[in-house]
Amino acid sequence: MDYFDINLNLSKEDEAIRMAAREFAQKVMRPVSRELDAMSAEEMVADGSPLWDFLKKAYELDFHKILLPEYYGGEGISPLQVHLVLEEFAWASFGLSVQLLVVCFPFYVACMVGDEELIETFVKPFCKCRDGSIRGCWAITEPDHGSDILAVGEECFESEKMRGNLQAILEGDEWVINGQKSAWVSGGTIATHALLFCQIDPSRGFAGNGVCIVPLDRKGVSKGKPLEKIGQRDLNQGELFFNNVRIPKTWMMANPDFYVPFLDMVLAAANLSMAALSTGLARAAFEEALAYSKQRIQGGRPLIEHYVMKQRIFELFARTESCRAISRAAINLNFNISPPHVEYSLWAKTQCTEMAFQNSHETIQIWGGNGLTKEYIVEKLFRDARATLIEDGNNETLARHGGHILAETYPRKPDTF
Amino acid sequence: MAVFKDKNLMEELFGELWTKMINETEFGPRIKKDGVSILYIVNDPDVVMFVDGDGPLFGIEAEKKHPMVTMKMSGDTVHNFWLKKLNIPKALALRDIKAKGPVVKVLQLLPMLKPGQALYPGYCEKYNLPMD
């Protein structure tokens, strides 16, 4: 379903990009996502799975590199255009949208470094890839560390007691990596490259971390089984193991000297994406509720003709528009300044995921028993939305982090971009 | 002590550097083709400089322009950047460099400015600036 955009200044290029994303979302993503959702996690990544054809089509259309600069072969689209694309994608499938974003994550961060070796070795080949064969993942959480890995500002964060499950030690001109990442690494078991967060100086707790890029065909890398879960089943997730894996010194992109603010920069970008995607999910739920309320007859008339239903439909609409307004505002700010004001990404992520979840919950309620069956998409929207409250930092942790930033920076001065 | 002893020195050096980059390196055609414009707001010394495909402007003339990307940093950070001695993600993370403008355009500037980084040591010698 189309929607009225309250931004009356969209350019023809903006509209064209949105329509291209919508066509792909409607014709390819949503049907594939429903197929994948019904498969086991292992079947989903097995040979012959529709996942591979989906990725190939996405890469052929350049949707894997929307965050990357044109100079390196990326799409170089504007912050608003990024939002337009992500909303359409997540309308079709939140999980596949995350998959398409994480494939570029190691390469996006390599662009921030701008080092010629990293660009030539990693970024340009990824941008040239048209068959989906180069795929990144974001490996940050660990079996023993979920949200506390984001607990910047808390005493524990810088405590030597905070021993990571993955360590990197410099030996000569190489980093030697040992340990593992959690089963929640998005795209983990199908990735060819990882944006890997690792502990370098355990005496500083997680403030002693670093960030590197690791091709996952290096000797000593192994992968766990794909994770079975209730939501975003069409998003592959799974563990990564590192046993004396060696990478050149130059592939360590961030070190403890500036790890904490660097983490914030990465988190800000990830949270903006989550907020934009939530708009698509909120809209999908709203549209399902509206369509059903016009079709379903109860008490001798369509649901929508019942007084209370009009109010409930309006609330779904209001949350969708709020999601769009908040996430676009945050993207417009933080994809236009460097470094970002992280609290605005956290605001957008926490609020938009909550509203998308409320929409998916309310839509099931409006659909009644039909909303609980596997026959319709609304139960999938609900399961997918539930995962977003935890994904990329659970909302409570993110709110705490936001409060920490506010305590230190509020009010920011107008010229502090 | 700051690398650039005063505003005049910085304006003179960068006036020459930007002009040479635009006229004699691939930076010129590239900045024109991409329609890129950059405003530098520098402190210590306080210098405002603007550059686009038409060349550099300084001071009040620069301030009147509407750039695609605005960069804020100290004179010493400018110097280290052009000497390729700056860790860019670290400088951004620690707010030694602040940028306004689409992030993809900011990221694109790093490779675009490389021809200038190759020329810069020559200007350091000419103007007797430290390179250590």
Inspect the interface and report whether the beta carbons of A254 and B90 lie closer than 8 Å.
yes
Identify which of A176, A172, A161 has the alpha carbon closest to the alpha carbon of residue A210.
Answer: A176
pLDDT for A148 equals 85
Model confidence pLDDT, tens digit, residues B9-57:
999 999 999 999 999 999 999 999 989 999 999 999 999 999 999 999 9
pLDDT for A252 equals 97
pLDDT at B132 over 90: no
What would the mean pLDDT of A72-77 be, rounded to a whole number? 95
The pLDDT > 70 percentage for chain A reads 100
CA distance B7 to B28: 25
Q: How many domains does chain B have?
A: 1
Inspect the interface and report whether the beta carbons of B111 and A258 lie closer than 8 Å.
no
The structure tokens listed for A310 are 């009009």
Inspect the interface and report whether the beta carbons of A336 and B102 lie closer than 8 Å.
yes
- Cis omega (within 30 of 0) on the bond before B67? no
- Reported as half-sphere exposure (CB side, CA atoms, 13 A), residue B2 has a value of 17
CA A302, A305, A307, A310 dihedral sign is: positive
Report pTM: 0.96
pLDDT at A355 over 80: yes
What would the mean pLDDT of A366-375 be, rounded to a whole number? 97
User: Can you list the pairs that B15-20 forms with residues at least 24 positions away whose Cβ atoms lie under 8 Å?
Assistant: B15/B56, B15/B58, B16/B123, B17/B82, B17/B116, B17/B119, B17/B120, B17/B123, B18/B49, B18/B51, B18/B55, B18/B56, B18/B116, B19/B55, B19/B56, B20/B119
CA A371, A34, A223, A131 dihedral sign is: negative
CA distance A240 to A235: 16
Which residues in chain A are closer than 8 Å to B87, comparing Cβ atoms? 258
Please give the single-letter amino acid code of residue A128: K
CA distance A42 to A55: 17
The backbone region for B22, taken as left when phi is positive above 0, alpha when psi lies in -120 to 50, beta otherwise, is: alpha
Tell me if A270 sits within 8 A of A335, measured CB to CB.
no
SS3 of residue A49 by DSSP = coil
Per residue, the 3-state secondary structure of A306-337, as one string, reads: CHHHHHHHHHHHHHHHHHHHHHHHHHHHHCCE
Inspect the interface and report whether the beta carbons of A417 and B100 lie closer than 8 Å.
yes
User: Is any Cβ of chain A less than 8 angstroms from the Cβ of B101?
Assistant: yes
User: Is any Cβ of chain A less than 8 angstroms from the Cβ of B97?
Assistant: yes
Q: Cβ atoms within 10 A of the Cβ of A291, count?
A: 12
CA distance B105 to A336: 9
Inspect the interface and report whether the beta carbons of A336 and B104 lie closer than 8 Å.
no
Residues of chain A with CATH 2.40.110.10: 136-259
Tell me if A305 sits within 8 A of A313, measured CB to CB.
no
Which residues in chain A are closer than 8 Å to B95, comparing Cβ atoms? 261, 339
**Å between B30 CA and nearest CA of chain A:** 10
Q: Does the residue B14 lie in any domain? A: yes
Inspect the interface and report whether the beta carbons of A257 and B111 lie closer than 8 Å.
no
Residues of chain A with CATH 1.10.540.10: 12-128
Please give the single-letter amino acid code of residue B105: K
Helix axes A342-367, A395-409, angle to 10 degrees: 150
Dihedrals phi, psi of B21, to nearest 5 degrees: -60, -45
User: Is any Cβ of chain A less than 8 angstroms from the Cβ of B108?
Assistant: yes
pLDDT at A103 over 90: yes
CA A162, A168, A169, A170 dihedral sign is: negative
- pLDDT bracket for residue A399 (50, 70, 90): very high
| Pure H helices in A171-305 | 259-295
- pLDDT bracket for residue B110 (50, 70, 90): confident
Tell me if A13 sits within 8 A of A20, measured CB to CB.
no
Tell me if A173 sits within 8 A of A222, measured CB to CB.
no
SS3 of residue A368 by DSSP = helix
- pLDDT bracket for residue A414 (50, 70, 90): confident
What would the mean pLDDT of A312-341 be, rounded to a whole number? 97
Tell me if A209 sits within 8 A of A259, measured CB to CB.
yes
Dmax (CA) for chain B in angstroms is: 39
- pLDDT bracket for residue A131 (50, 70, 90): very high
Which residues in chain A are closer than 8 Å to B70, comparing Cβ atoms? 417
User: Is any Cβ of chain A less than 8 angstroms from the Cβ of B113?
Assistant: no
Q: Cβ atoms within 10 A of the Cβ of A149, count?
A: 22
Residues of chain B numbered 6-25 and touching chain A (CB < 8 Å):
none
- Comparing A281-290, A293-302, B26-35, the range with the smallest average pLDDT is B26-35
What would the mean pLDDT of A139-167 be, rounded to a whole number? 93
Average pLDDT of the residues of chain A: 97
pLDDT at A171 over 80: yes
The structure tokens listed for A220 are 């000593």
CA distance A122 to A145: 28
Out of B72, B94, B102, the one facing A261 most closely (by C-beta) is B94
The structure tokens listed for A66 are 């929307």
Instruction: For residue B81, give the H/E element and its range.
Output: helix B75-82
Q: Does the residue B94 lie in any domain? A: yes
Q: Does the residue B130 lie in any domain? A: no
C-alpha A52: how far from its chain's center? 19
- Reported as half-sphere exposure (CB side, CA atoms, 13 A), residue A254 has a value of 32
Model confidence pLDDT, tens digit, residues A84-93:
999 999 999 9
CA distance A63 to A50: 17
CA distance A98 to A278: 11
- Indicate the class that CATH gives domain A136-259: mainly beta
The pLDDT > 90 percentage for chain A reads 95
Tell me if A164 sits within 8 A of A145, measured CB to CB.
yes
Bridge partner list, A209 = A199
Domain span at residue B24 reads 7-125
pLDDT at A57 over 80: yes
Please give the single-letter amino acid code of residue A235: L
Length of chain B measured in residues: 132
Tell me if A205 sits within 8 A of A160, measured CB to CB.
yes
Query: Which superfamily is assigned to A12-128 in CATH?
Result: Acyl-CoA dehydrogenase/oxidase, N-terminal domain (1.10.540.10)
Mutate to test the interface with A, among B107, B109, B112, B117 (most CBs of A within 10 A): B107
pLDDT for A233 equals 98
Q: Does the residue B53 lie in any domain? A: yes
Architecture of domain A260-409: Up-down Bundle (1.20)
- pLDDT bracket for residue A245 (50, 70, 90): very high
Residues of chain A with CATH 1.20.140.10: 260-409
Tokens 């014709």, located at residue: A27
Q: Cβ atoms within 10 A of the Cβ of A323, count?
A: 29
C-alpha A98: how far from its chain's center? 4
Residue B27's CATH number: 3.30.1050.10
Q: Does the residue B1 lie in any domain? A: no
Which residues in chain B are closer than 8 Å to A257, comparing Cβ atoms? 90
Please give the single-letter amino acid code of residue B111: P
Instruction: For residue A172, give the H/E element and its range.
Output: none
Q: Does the residue B2 lie in any domain? A: no
pLDDT at A360 over 90: yes
Dihedrals phi, psi of A378, to nearest 5 degrees: -65, -35
pLDDT at A203 over 80: yes
Inspect the interface and report whether the beta carbons of A417 and B99 lie closer than 8 Å.
yes
- Measured CB to CB, residues of chain A less than 8 Å from chain B are 67-72, 74, 76-79, 111-114, 116, 119, 253-254, 257-258, 261-262, 264-265, 335-339, 416-417
pLDDT for B1 equals 86
pLDDT for A37 equals 98
